[in-house]
Structure 1
Amino acid sequence: MKRPTLGVSAAERIRNSARELFYSNGIRGVGVDEIVQNAGVTKPSLYRAYESKDGLAAVYLDEFYKTCRTYFEEAEATCPDDPRGQILAYFDGLAERASRPAYRGCGLTNAILEFPDHDHPVRQEAARLKQAMADWIASRVTLLDARAPETLTSGLVLLMEGVFVAGQAFAPPGPGARAGAVARLLLHDV
């Protein structure tokens, strides 16, 4: 068992442990025993803080989405009043992240693939947050003078999802390293 970190609550240590393990090994690939051992806490601490592993998984997914949201916000700040530039800034950043050796794609996409049952609460939460990501892309495309905005949005969402999966299928840097260049091709006439 790891030694507890002073000043960090058990719930925080559990959350940090789960984030690391879920991203590296998948939600289903990690047991409660491994989470609490890695966090240096007891099993009752996990259940007091999160009620269940699914509850902890929902917190992990929400935190993962918040990280994604910061990437969108950074793209917006980099190119204020320029939705095309914001899309390109996002995909340039995604290309850089996807080229890292420890890259395991999107935690939300991974959760959707792990939980094929559409009624499972983890799958539903991941799908809800994944839709929010697609909605951000759609919101940027709406501000452009695109001839076929729905098709462009679909192409960009497919590119994003493709990078998430390709990052796990190919050795770094892999095709994801070209995400910005591909986004430029999709936005060529815009």
Structure 2
Amino acid sequence: MYSENSRESILDAAEELYYAKGYAAVGMDELRAAAGVSLKRVYALFPSKNDIIKAVLGRKHDEWESMLTSAVAAAGDDSRARLLAVYDFLQVWFGADDFRGCAFINAFGELGGTIPEVAQIVREHKASFQEYMSRLVADTGASEVLAAQLSILAEGAQSTAAISGDPQVAVQARGAAEVLIGAAVASA
């Protein structure tokens, strides 16, 4: 039990610190202090900083999928509403006080070129989102091309909102998604 509590404390602290400051900027001493555990305990649970980063990204992936699928499910059975719920979800996320962009895009930008495992985790996360969008698009009867377009739109909105600090980017992306969905469904 103590081991699991320590592990969660370390991951909670790492997630918060990495998201706020960046992965490279956070040292093990700062992480240890924020988690309230000894450095020896940190290394007993995570032999390297890369192991902590990979675990944090794994948790972020699960959190993202859970929140996104809940938001989409709340939109009901209408296939168009379910697709647009993705952008409504983004608007809420972009408006959060601690929004600093996509943790995966941030990790890739900072570490993807030097830590192949991080690059792979990010690619898998983004592929998972693309597959999810493909399933949502299939429910509309539209072409698979729409899934790629809507995914790119969502990814671009994440980057733009992080840089601009404007949650309204999601509203603009939703408007563009409506146009794309309407055109794709009409031609299906």
TM-score range, shorter chain: 0.7 to 0.9
Alignment match, 2:148: 154
Match of 1:125 in 2: 121
Q: TM-score, normalized by length of structure 2?
A: 0.86
Correspondence for 2:94: 98
Structure 2 residue 170 is the aligned partner of structure 1 residue 176: yes
Structure whose residues are more often helix by fraction: 2
Does the CA-based 8 Å contact 2:88-2:170 persist in structure 1? no
- 1:14 maps onto 2:47 in alignment: no
Aligned residues: 182
In structure 2, list runs of 5 or more residues that go unmatched: none
1:30 aligns with 2:29: no
Q: Structure 1 residues 61, 95: closer, same or farther in 2, change over 3 A?
A: same
Question: 1:46 and 1:117, CA in 2 relative to 1: closer, same or farther beyond 3 A?
Answer: same
Instruction: Give the aligned partner of residue 181 of structure 2.
Output: 187
Aligned-residue offset at 1:118: 7.5
CA contact (8 A) 1:166 1:176 kept: no
Q: Return the offset for 1:177.
A: 4.1
Residues 11 and 49 of structure 1 are in contact (CA less than 8 Å); yes or no, is this contact kept in structure 2? yes
The answer to whether the Cα contact below 8 Å between 2:19 and 2:100 also exists between their aligned partners in 1 is yes
- For structure 1, the residue ranges without an aligned partner over 5 or more in a row are 1-5
- Tell me, in whole angstroms, the C-alpha distance in 1 between the residues paired with 2:148 and 2:116: 26
Measured on the aligned residues, the alpha-carbon RMSD in Å equals 2.1
Q: Which moved more, 1:76-85 or 1:27-36?
A: 76-85
Does structure 1 conserve the Cα–Cα contact (< 8 Å) formed by 2:12 and 2:35? Answer: yes
